[in-house]
Copies of this chain bind each other. A is one copy, B any other.
Amino acid sequence: VSPTKTATRGQLSRALVVDRALVIADAEGLEAVTIRRLATELDVTPMALYWHFRTKDDLLAGTADRVLDELAIPPDTGSWASRIQAAITALVEALRPHPQVAMLVAHRILLHPTGLALTETALACLSEAGFTPAESAQMAEHALQTAIMLVTGNQVDDSGSVEQRDGEIAAKTAMIASLPADQYPHLKLMAADLMQCQDVDQFFALGVEHFVAGLQGLAAARRA
């Protein structure tokens, strides 16, 4: 019981643990988030965490919820297309700071107040667009997954060990370089673009735009 400890922590709590988990995940990836590591960093026994969390999955769920806490519901104005565009953009913005945790929110969105609110607005947009309930449900889920996908995308997510990522890029580049140019012209031309994207904001914007354009196309086809 050193003075540093008590000065640093005071008391353990769900919020304290989750915040630390988020820091570790952002810096080194989800697999670096460990009960035992969290315990040592929080100057506590591993078992102390089990008072606040039923299991490690519970802890990770809490971390995902922590990300969703930052989600901002967009204003409810404009066409259904612009409203759902705003909804997906809001989700992307919430996930962007935590690309490693993003995939965990898929299972939490319908258990989180803000997540539920955003889903409701998405479903309202999709109904207004003319999709059936089943289709609307699928498209809402699809929208969520798209947001996650954009944020965790290969070309965007730099987190994780740098040398591992560099190795992967080198291997792929070498692979493409070894291909015959007459059979794989596009692959050779766009090799660099496939490895990393230049403008991340543009990347997200185009991704969301693509999703909404697809909805509009399908909705138009439904009306025809």
Q: Which A positions have Cβ atoms within 8 angstroms of B?
A: 106-107, 110-111, 116, 119-120, 123-124, 127, 133-142, 145-146, 149, 153-155, 168, 171-172, 175-176, 179, 183-187, 189-190, 193-194, 197-198, 203, 206-207, 209-218, 221
Contacts and interface: CB of A to CB of B under 8 A. Distances in A.
Given A136-B186, A187-B120, A110 B175 contact: yes
Given A172-B110, A175-B111, A213-B218, A207 B119 contact: no
A138 B215 CA distance: 19
Interface of A is mostly: helix
Contacts of A119: 187, 194
B145 A110 contact: no
B203 A210 contact: no
Contacts of A207: 138, 142
Closest 6 CB pairs of A and B: A214-B214, A213-B217, A137-B193, A123-B186, A210-B214, A110-B172
Contacts of A136: 186, 190, 193
B140 A194 contact: yes
A123 B190 CA distance: 8
A140 B172 CA distance: 15
A215 B176 CA distance: 25
A141 B116 contact: no
A124 B186 CA distance: 6
A134 to B, nearest CB: 5
A65 to B, nearest CB: 13
A156 to B, nearest CB: 10
Given A116-B176, A137-B197, 8 more contacts: A124-B186, A136-B190, A136-B193, A138-B203, A141-B194, A142-B207, A210-B211, A216-B217
Contact of A116 (B123, B139, B175): B175
